[in-house]
Protein backbone atom coordinates (compact mmCIF):
# COMPACT_ATOMS: atom_id res chain seq x y z
CA UNK A 1 0.00 0.00 0.00
CA UNK A 2 1.11 3.58 -0.72
CA UNK A 3 1.07 5.95 2.24
CA UNK A 4 1.61 9.71 2.30
CA UNK A 5 3.05 10.74 5.67
CA UNK A 6 2.92 14.42 6.57
CA UNK A 7 5.46 15.29 9.23
CA UNK A 8 7.37 12.08 8.49
CA UNK A 9 10.69 13.79 9.25
CA UNK A 10 9.57 14.62 12.79
CA UNK A 11 9.89 12.67 16.01
CA UNK A 12 6.84 10.40 15.89
CA UNK A 13 6.40 10.51 12.12
CA UNK A 14 9.92 9.24 11.51
CA UNK A 15 9.36 6.22 13.77
CA UNK A 16 6.18 5.39 11.87
CA UNK A 17 7.87 5.87 8.47
CA UNK A 18 10.56 3.42 9.50
CA UNK A 19 8.00 0.88 10.66
CA UNK A 20 5.93 1.28 7.48
CA UNK A 21 9.09 0.60 5.49
CA UNK A 22 9.78 -2.54 7.51
CA UNK A 23 6.22 -3.72 6.78
CA UNK A 24 6.77 -3.28 3.04
CA UNK A 25 4.68 -0.15 2.44
CA UNK A 26 5.59 2.42 -0.16
CA UNK A 27 6.00 5.71 1.71
CA UNK A 28 6.32 9.35 0.75
CA UNK A 29 7.10 11.91 3.44
CA UNK A 30 5.75 15.45 3.10
CA UNK A 31 7.44 17.76 5.59
CA UNK A 32 8.46 21.43 5.68
CA UNK A 33 11.43 20.57 7.96
CA UNK A 34 10.41 23.29 10.41
CA UNK A 35 11.10 20.85 13.24
CA UNK A 36 11.87 17.66 11.31
CA UNK A 37 15.19 16.46 9.92
CA UNK A 38 16.12 15.03 6.56
CA UNK A 39 18.27 12.33 8.15
CA UNK A 40 15.30 11.04 10.14
CA UNK A 41 13.48 9.80 7.05
CA UNK A 42 14.79 6.25 6.85
CA UNK A 43 12.40 4.98 4.19
CA UNK A 44 10.98 6.36 0.96
CA UNK A 45 11.35 9.83 -0.52
CA UNK A 46 10.96 13.21 1.14
CA UNK A 47 9.13 16.16 -0.38
CA UNK A 48 10.08 19.37 1.41
CA UNK A 49 6.92 21.47 1.28
CA UNK A 50 4.31 23.10 3.45
CA UNK A 51 0.71 22.07 3.90
CA UNK A 52 -0.25 25.65 3.14
CA UNK A 53 1.08 25.10 -0.41
CA UNK A 54 -2.11 23.87 -2.09
CA UNK A 55 -0.45 23.43 -5.51
CA UNK A 56 2.44 21.41 -4.12
CA UNK A 57 0.15 19.24 -2.08
CA UNK A 58 -2.18 18.64 -5.02
CA UNK A 59 0.76 17.66 -7.19
CA UNK A 60 1.98 15.13 -4.66
CA UNK A 61 -1.46 13.56 -4.22
CA UNK A 62 -1.97 13.41 -7.98
CA UNK A 63 1.33 11.78 -8.77
CA UNK A 64 1.91 9.56 -5.71
CA UNK A 65 -1.76 8.43 -5.49
CA UNK A 66 -1.67 7.28 -1.87
CA UNK A 67 -4.22 4.80 -0.53
CA UNK A 68 -4.11 6.62 2.80
CA UNK A 69 -2.66 9.69 4.45
CA UNK A 70 -1.09 9.70 7.90
CA UNK A 71 -1.04 13.20 9.28
CA UNK A 72 1.64 14.00 11.88
CA UNK A 73 2.66 17.49 10.79
CA UNK A 74 1.64 19.80 13.63
CA UNK A 75 2.87 22.13 16.32
CA UNK A 76 2.82 20.28 19.63
CA UNK A 77 4.19 22.34 22.51
CA UNK A 78 1.52 23.13 25.10
CA UNK A 79 3.04 26.29 26.68
CA UNK A 80 3.92 27.70 23.25
CA UNK A 81 0.29 27.25 22.21
CA UNK A 82 -0.76 29.43 25.14
CA UNK A 83 1.63 32.17 24.00
CA UNK A 84 0.98 31.86 20.27
CA UNK A 85 -2.48 30.39 19.65
CA UNK A 86 -2.68 31.48 16.00
CA UNK A 87 0.34 29.32 15.19
CA UNK A 88 -1.57 26.34 16.59
CA UNK A 89 -4.91 27.02 14.92
CA UNK A 90 -3.03 27.67 11.66
CA UNK A 91 -0.65 24.71 11.74
CA UNK A 92 -3.02 22.23 13.28
CA UNK A 93 -6.58 23.12 12.36
CA UNK A 94 -6.30 25.15 9.14
CA UNK A 95 -3.56 23.00 7.63
CA UNK A 96 -5.50 19.81 8.34
CA UNK A 97 -8.47 21.39 6.63
CA UNK A 98 -6.22 22.16 3.61
CA UNK A 99 -5.06 18.57 3.57
CA UNK A 100 -8.58 17.13 3.81
CA UNK A 101 -9.77 19.33 0.97
CA UNK A 102 -6.88 18.28 -1.23
CA UNK A 103 -7.49 14.63 -0.37
CA UNK A 104 -11.13 14.91 -1.37
CA UNK A 105 -10.18 16.60 -4.62
CA UNK A 106 -7.82 13.77 -5.46
CA UNK A 107 -9.99 10.88 -4.30
CA UNK A 108 -8.02 9.86 -1.20
CA UNK A 109 -10.41 8.71 1.50
CA UNK A 110 -8.40 7.08 4.27
CA UNK A 111 -6.90 9.20 7.05
CA UNK A 112 -4.94 8.50 10.23
CA UNK A 113 -4.86 11.55 12.47
CA UNK A 114 -2.41 12.38 15.28
CA UNK A 115 -4.65 13.63 18.03
CA UNK A 116 -3.78 14.08 21.66
CA UNK A 117 -4.75 13.55 25.27
CA UNK A 118 -4.71 17.34 25.51
CA UNK A 119 -8.26 17.29 24.10
CA UNK A 120 -9.43 16.02 27.51
CA UNK A 121 -7.87 18.85 29.51
CA UNK A 122 -9.41 18.84 32.96
CA UNK A 123 -10.61 15.25 32.85
CA UNK A 124 -13.44 14.30 35.17
CA UNK A 125 -12.26 10.76 35.81
CA UNK A 126 -8.95 8.91 35.62
CA UNK A 127 -8.19 6.79 33.64
CA UNK A 128 -9.74 8.58 30.70
CA UNK A 129 -11.85 6.73 28.14
CA UNK A 130 -12.61 7.98 24.64
CA UNK A 131 -16.15 8.80 25.83
CA UNK A 132 -14.85 11.26 28.41
CA UNK A 133 -15.92 14.84 28.13
CA UNK A 134 -13.57 16.98 25.99
CA UNK A 135 -12.42 19.97 27.98
CA UNK A 136 -9.10 21.25 26.61
CA UNK A 137 -7.38 23.94 28.66
CA UNK A 138 -4.82 25.08 26.11
CA UNK A 139 -4.98 26.15 22.43
CA UNK A 140 -3.00 23.06 21.42
CA UNK A 141 -5.72 20.76 22.75
CA UNK A 142 -8.45 22.93 21.28
CA UNK A 143 -6.79 23.01 17.85
CA UNK A 144 -6.77 19.20 17.78
CA UNK A 145 -10.30 18.91 19.14
CA UNK A 146 -11.56 21.22 16.40
CA UNK A 147 -9.92 19.00 13.80
CA UNK A 148 -11.57 15.94 15.30
CA UNK A 149 -14.92 17.71 14.91
CA UNK A 150 -14.19 18.37 11.25
CA UNK A 151 -13.28 14.70 10.76
CA UNK A 152 -16.47 13.51 12.39
CA UNK A 153 -18.65 15.77 10.23
CA UNK A 154 -16.77 14.85 7.09
CA UNK A 155 -17.13 11.12 7.67
CA UNK A 156 -20.85 11.67 8.26
CA UNK A 157 -21.26 13.71 5.07
CA UNK A 158 -19.09 11.55 2.80
CA UNK A 159 -19.54 7.80 3.16
CA UNK A 160 -16.27 7.15 1.31
CA UNK A 161 -14.20 9.04 3.89
CA UNK A 162 -12.91 7.00 6.84
CA UNK A 163 -10.50 8.04 9.56
CA UNK A 164 -8.84 6.85 12.72
CA UNK A 165 -7.97 9.48 15.28
CA UNK A 166 -5.26 8.45 17.72
CA UNK A 167 -5.20 10.37 20.97
CA UNK A 168 -1.60 10.15 22.14
CA UNK A 169 -0.73 10.45 25.78
CA UNK A 170 2.90 11.41 26.63
CA UNK A 171 5.11 9.98 23.95
CA UNK A 172 8.75 9.53 24.89
CA UNK A 173 11.87 7.44 24.28
CA UNK A 174 13.56 6.54 21.03
CA UNK A 175 13.81 3.61 18.65
CA UNK A 176 16.01 1.05 20.45
CA UNK A 177 17.76 0.43 17.09
CA UNK A 178 19.29 3.86 17.64
CA UNK A 179 18.98 5.76 14.37
CA UNK A 180 16.12 8.09 15.26
CA UNK A 181 14.70 9.87 18.30
CA UNK A 182 13.49 13.27 19.41
CA UNK A 183 15.61 16.03 17.91
CA UNK A 184 13.87 19.35 18.43
CA UNK A 185 16.10 22.40 18.74
CA UNK A 186 14.36 23.64 21.89
CA UNK A 187 13.09 20.50 23.54
CA UNK A 188 10.44 21.13 26.18
CA UNK A 189 9.28 17.60 27.03
CA UNK A 190 10.01 16.31 30.50
CA UNK A 191 11.94 13.13 29.71
CA UNK A 192 13.99 14.83 27.01
CA UNK A 193 14.77 17.78 29.31
CA UNK A 194 15.70 15.37 32.10
CA UNK A 195 18.22 13.39 30.02
CA UNK A 196 19.62 16.58 28.49
CA UNK A 197 20.08 17.97 32.01
CA UNK A 198 21.84 14.75 33.02
CA UNK A 199 24.07 15.21 29.99
CA UNK A 200 24.92 18.74 31.13
CA UNK A 201 23.06 20.69 28.45
CA UNK A 202 21.03 22.49 31.11
CA UNK A 203 22.25 23.46 34.58
CA UNK A 204 19.11 22.13 36.25
CA UNK A 205 15.68 20.70 35.50
CA UNK A 206 12.81 22.93 36.44
CA UNK A 207 9.76 21.35 38.04
CA UNK A 208 6.71 23.27 37.02
CA UNK A 209 4.41 23.31 40.00
CA UNK A 210 4.31 21.30 43.22
CA UNK A 211 0.84 22.30 44.38
CA UNK A 212 -1.32 20.20 42.05
CA UNK A 213 -4.02 17.95 43.52
CA UNK A 214 -1.86 14.83 43.12
CA UNK A 215 -0.13 12.69 45.78
CA UNK A 216 3.23 14.53 45.55
CA UNK A 217 1.86 17.80 44.15
CA UNK A 218 3.43 17.44 40.67
CA UNK A 219 1.59 16.63 37.43
CA UNK A 220 0.92 13.04 36.45
CA UNK A 221 1.29 11.79 32.89
CA UNK A 222 1.01 8.45 31.11
CA UNK A 223 4.37 8.04 29.33
CA UNK A 224 4.28 5.75 26.29
CA UNK A 225 7.23 4.53 24.25
CA UNK A 226 7.31 5.90 20.72
CA UNK A 227 7.62 2.44 19.12
CA UNK A 228 4.45 1.20 20.83
CA UNK A 229 2.75 4.31 19.51
CA UNK A 230 4.14 3.70 16.02
CA UNK A 231 2.86 0.12 16.07
CA UNK A 232 -0.65 1.39 16.80
CA UNK A 233 -0.48 3.42 13.58
CA UNK A 234 0.19 0.31 11.54
CA UNK A 235 -2.79 -1.35 13.21
CA UNK A 236 -4.92 1.74 12.52
CA UNK A 237 -4.09 1.46 8.83
CA UNK A 238 -5.11 -2.19 8.83
CA UNK A 239 -8.31 -1.23 10.64
CA UNK A 240 -9.15 1.28 7.92
CA UNK A 241 -8.50 -1.37 5.30
CA UNK A 242 -10.73 -3.94 6.97
CA UNK A 243 -13.53 -1.94 8.62
CA UNK A 244 -16.03 0.38 7.07
CA UNK A 245 -15.81 2.52 10.19
CA UNK A 246 -14.14 5.59 11.63
CA UNK A 247 -12.92 5.44 15.21
CA UNK A 248 -11.06 7.27 17.97
CA UNK A 249 -8.49 5.48 20.14
CA UNK A 250 -6.57 6.49 23.25
CA UNK A 251 -2.94 5.40 23.31
CA UNK A 252 -1.31 5.16 26.71
CA UNK A 253 -0.41 2.43 29.18
CA UNK A 254 -3.10 3.17 31.75
CA UNK A 255 -0.86 4.29 34.59
CA UNK A 256 0.83 7.58 35.26
CA UNK A 257 4.00 8.94 36.84
CA UNK A 258 4.44 12.26 38.55
CA UNK A 259 7.15 14.69 37.50
CA UNK A 260 9.10 13.80 40.66
CA UNK A 261 8.85 10.09 39.88
CA UNK A 262 10.18 10.72 36.39
CA UNK A 263 13.08 12.72 37.84
CA UNK A 264 13.93 9.90 40.21
CA UNK A 265 13.79 7.31 37.40
CA UNK A 266 15.94 9.52 35.15
CA UNK A 267 18.57 9.91 37.85
CA UNK A 268 18.64 6.16 38.33
CA UNK A 269 18.88 5.32 34.62
CA UNK A 270 21.55 7.92 33.85
CA UNK A 271 23.42 7.42 37.12
CA UNK A 272 23.63 11.21 37.42
CA UNK A 273 22.13 13.07 40.32
CA UNK A 274 21.30 16.15 38.24
CA UNK A 275 19.95 19.22 40.05
CA UNK A 276 16.30 20.26 39.98
CA UNK A 277 14.56 23.48 40.86
CA UNK A 278 10.96 23.76 41.91
CA UNK A 279 9.27 26.66 40.16
CA UNK A 280 5.71 27.85 39.60
CA UNK A 281 3.11 26.15 37.43
CA UNK A 282 3.46 26.23 33.66
CA UNK A 283 0.42 27.58 31.86
CA UNK A 284 -1.93 25.10 30.24
CA UNK A 285 -0.91 22.00 32.25
CA UNK A 286 -3.74 19.72 33.40
CA UNK A 287 -2.89 17.98 36.71
CA UNK A 288 -3.35 14.42 35.50
CA UNK A 289 -3.71 12.60 32.16
CA UNK A 290 -3.84 8.80 32.22
CA UNK A 291 -5.31 6.69 29.42
CA UNK A 292 -7.82 3.93 29.37
CA UNK A 293 -6.71 2.20 26.17
CA UNK A 294 -9.06 -0.77 26.39
CA UNK A 295 -10.61 0.11 23.05
CA UNK A 296 -7.27 0.13 21.17
CA UNK A 297 -6.39 -3.25 22.65
CA UNK A 298 -9.77 -4.71 21.82
CA UNK A 299 -10.48 -3.19 18.39
CA UNK A 300 -6.97 -2.79 16.98
CA UNK A 301 -5.36 -5.74 18.77
CA UNK A 302 -2.74 -3.31 20.13
CA UNK A 303 -0.22 -5.08 22.39
CA UNK A 304 2.29 -2.58 23.82
CA UNK A 305 5.78 -3.99 24.39
CA UNK A 306 7.68 -1.26 26.20
CA UNK A 307 5.50 -0.40 29.20
CA UNK A 308 8.46 0.38 31.45
CA UNK A 309 9.40 3.93 32.43
CA UNK A 310 13.07 3.13 33.00
CA UNK A 311 13.34 1.47 29.59
CA UNK A 312 11.70 4.49 27.95
CA UNK A 313 14.17 6.82 29.67
CA UNK A 314 17.08 4.52 28.82
CA UNK A 315 16.28 4.72 25.09
CA UNK A 316 15.97 8.53 25.34
CA UNK A 317 19.30 8.69 27.19
CA UNK A 318 21.08 6.49 24.64
CA UNK A 319 19.63 8.54 21.84
CA UNK A 320 20.90 11.79 23.40
CA UNK A 321 24.38 10.34 23.21
CA UNK A 322 24.02 9.80 19.46
CA UNK A 323 22.06 12.89 18.56
CA UNK A 324 24.88 15.37 18.03
CA UNK A 325 26.71 12.85 15.83
CA UNK A 326 23.59 12.16 13.79
CA UNK A 327 22.95 15.83 13.10
CA UNK A 328 26.60 16.58 12.28
CA UNK A 329 26.97 13.52 10.09
CA UNK A 330 24.08 13.62 7.69
CA UNK A 331 22.21 16.92 7.71
N1 LIG B 1 7.59 19.45 33.08
C2 LIG B 1 8.42 19.93 34.05
N3 LIG B 1 9.66 20.38 33.67
C4 LIG B 1 10.09 20.36 32.38
C5 LIG B 1 9.21 19.86 31.38
C6 LIG B 1 7.97 19.41 31.78
O7 LIG B 1 8.08 19.97 35.24
O8 LIG B 1 11.22 20.80 32.10
C9 LIG B 1 6.26 18.93 33.46
C10 LIG B 1 5.12 19.68 32.80
O11 LIG B 1 4.79 20.84 33.52
C12 LIG B 1 4.04 18.60 32.79
C13 LIG B 1 4.82 17.30 32.63
O14 LIG B 1 6.16 17.60 33.02
O15 LIG B 1 3.39 18.59 34.01
C16 LIG B 1 4.85 16.78 31.22
O17 LIG B 1 5.20 17.87 30.35
P18 LIG B 1 5.66 17.67 28.85
O19 LIG B 1 6.06 19.01 28.34
O20 LIG B 1 6.64 16.56 28.77
O21 LIG B 1 4.35 17.15 28.13
P22 LIG B 1 2.85 17.72 28.12
O23 LIG B 1 2.05 16.85 29.06
O24 LIG B 1 2.82 19.18 28.33
O25 LIG B 1 2.42 17.49 26.64
C26 LIG B 1 2.70 16.30 25.97
C27 LIG B 1 2.78 16.59 24.48
C28 LIG B 1 1.45 16.97 23.97
C29 LIG B 1 0.41 15.96 24.38
C30 LIG B 1 0.41 15.73 25.87
C31 LIG B 1 -0.55 14.63 26.22
O32 LIG B 1 3.70 17.63 24.21
O33 LIG B 1 1.54 17.03 22.58
O34 LIG B 1 1.73 15.35 26.26
O35 LIG B 1 -0.59 14.40 27.58
F36 LIG B 1 -0.81 16.40 24.07
What is the Cα–Cα distance from 2 to 68, expressed in whole angstroms? 7
193 lines ligand 1 (CB under 6 A): yes
Q: What is the pLDDT of residues 56-86, one digit of tens each?
A: 999 999 999 999 999 999 999 999 999 999 9
Q: What is the pLDDT of residues 96-149, one digit of tens each?
A: 999 999 999 999 999 999 999 999 999 888 999 999 999 999 999 999 999 999
Span of 58-67, 84-93, 184-193 with lowest mean pLDDT:
184-193
Q: What is the pLDDT of residue 50?
A: 96
Ligand 1 atom closest to residue 281's alpha carbon, by position in its atom list: 11
Rg of the chain (C-alpha set): 19
Of the pLDDT bands very low, low, confident and very high (cuts 50, 70, 90), residue 322 is confident
Ligand 1: which residue has its CA nearest to atom 24?
78
Specify the 3-state DSSP secondary structure of 94: helix
Q: Which candidate, 109, 105, 4, places its Cα nearest to that of 55?
A: 105
Q: What is the pLDDT of residue 243?
A: 87
Ligand 1: which residue has its CA nearest to atom 4?
190
Percent of the chain with pLDDT over 90: 93
Q: What is the pLDDT of residue 331?
A: 41
Which of 10, 78, 207, 255 most suits a substitution to test ligand 1, by most atoms within 8 Å of the C-beta? Answer: 78
According to DSSP, residue 281 is labeled P
Ligand 1 mean position, distance from CA 108 (Å) = 34
pLDDT at 88 over 60: yes
Q: Which domains does the chain have, with CATH numbers?
A: 2-172+223-251 (3.40.50.720), 190-221+254-330 (3.90.25.10)
What is the Cα–Cα distance from 234 to 4, expressed in whole angstroms? 13
What is the Cα–Cα distance from 178 to 209, expressed in whole angstroms? 33
pLDDT at 325 over 90: no
pLDDT at 327 over 90: no
CB neighbourhood size of 153 (10 A): 10
Percent of the chain with pLDDT over 70: 98
Averaged pLDDT, 162-186? 95
Q: Which residues are catalytic?
A: 140
pLDDT at 180 over 50: yes
Q: What is the pLDDT of residue 27?
A: 98
The backbone torsions φ and ψ at residue 313, rounded to the nearest 5 degrees and listed phi first, read -65, -40
Ligand 1 mean position, distance from CA 119 (Å) = 14
pTM: 0.97
Q: What is the pLDDT of residue 128?
A: 97
pLDDT at 89 over 80: yes
Of the pLDDT bands very low, low, confident and very high (cuts 50, 70, 90), residue 328 is low
Which of 35, 115, 118, 135 most suits a substitution to test ligand 1, by most atoms within 8 Å of the C-beta? Answer: 118
According to DSSP, residue 172 is labeled E
What is the Cα–Cα distance from 204 to 148, expressed in whole angstroms? 38
pLDDT at 324 over 80: no
Average pLDDT, the chain: 96
Q: What is the pLDDT of residue 41?
A: 98
pLDDT at 260 over 90: yes
Q: What is the pLDDT of residue 295?
A: 98
Ligand 1: which residue has its CA nearest to atom 27?
170
Q: What is the pLDDT of residues 279-297, one digit of tens each?
A: 999 998 999 999 999 999 9
**Long-range contacts (CB closer than 8 Å, 24 or more residues apart) made by 46-54:** 46/8, 46/9, 51/6, 51/95, 51/96, 51/98, 51/99, 52/94, 52/95, 52/98, 54/98, 54/102
Averaged pLDDT, 223-233? 98
pLDDT at 329 over 70: no
Q: What is the pLDDT of residues 11-26, one digit of tens each?
A: 999 999 999 999 999 9
Amino acid sequence: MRILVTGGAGYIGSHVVKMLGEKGCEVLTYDNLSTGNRWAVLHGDLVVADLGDADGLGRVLRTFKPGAVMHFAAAIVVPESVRDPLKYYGNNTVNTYNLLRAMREHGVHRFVFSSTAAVYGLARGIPITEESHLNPINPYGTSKMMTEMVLKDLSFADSRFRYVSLRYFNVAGADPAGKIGQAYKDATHLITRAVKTAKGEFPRLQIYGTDYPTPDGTCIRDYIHVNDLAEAHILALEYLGEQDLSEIFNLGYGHGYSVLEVVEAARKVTGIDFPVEETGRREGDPPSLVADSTRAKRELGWRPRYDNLEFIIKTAWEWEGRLAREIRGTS
